[in-house]
Amino acid sequence: MHLLKKTLLLIPLILSIAFQPIYAQQINNGKRPNIVFIMADDLGYGDLGAYGQDLIQTPNIDALAKEGMVFSQAYAGGPVCTSSRSVLMTGQHNGHTVARDNVPHYPTYLQEGDITLAMVLKESGYRTGGVGKWSLGDAKTEGRATNMGFDTWTGYLNQDHAHYYYPSYLDHDDRKILLTDNPILRNNYSHDILTNSTLNFIRKHRKAPFFFYAAYTSPHFSAPEEDEHGLTVPSTYPYTEKNWPEAAKKYAAMIYRLDKDVGKIVALLNELGLRENTLIVFTSDNGGHSNVWKKFRTNGKLKGYKRDLYEGGIRVPFIASWPGVIPTGQKSDEPIGFQDMLPTFAELGRAPVKAKIDGASVFEALKGNPLPKNERVFYWDFGHTRERYDQAVRMGKWKGIRRGQGQAIEVYNLAEDISEQYNLADENPELVEKMDKLMDAMVVPSPRYSVGEIYTGGPIWKKDW
| Cβ-count burial 227-259 (b if 16+ within 10 Å, e if not) | bebbbbbeebeebeeeebeebbbbbbbbbbbbb
Which pTM was predicted? 0.91
Q: Does the pLDDT value for residue 267 go beyond 80?
A: yes
404 and 389 Cβ atoms separated by less than 8 Å = yes
| pLDDT for residue 431 | 98
Instruction: Give the chain's domains with CATH numbers.
Output: 33-366 (3.40.720.10), 383-465 (3.30.1120)
E strand intervals along 292-371: 315-321, 330-332, 336-337
Q: How far is it, in rounded angstroms, from Cα 234 to Cα 186?
A: 9
| Mean pLDDT, residues 202-230 taken together | 83
- What pLDDT is attached to residue 30? 61
pLDDT value at residue 446: 84
pLDDT surpassing 80 at residue 122: yes
Instruction: Give the pLDDT confidence score for residue 150 in this predicted structure.
Output: 98
pLDDT at 191: 97
pLDDT tens digits, residue range 436-453? 999 999 999 888 876 434
Measured distance CA(215)–CA(90) in Å, rounded? 16
Average pLDDT over residues 209-226: 84
R_g over Cα of the chain: 22
In the predicted model, is pLDDT for residue 462 greater than 80? no
Looking at residue 202, what is its pLDDT? 98
Q: Is the pLDDT of residue 27 over 90?
A: no
pLDDT at 16: 36
Give me the chain's average pLDDT, please. Answer: 89
Q: What average pLDDT does range 223-228 have in this prediction?
A: 54
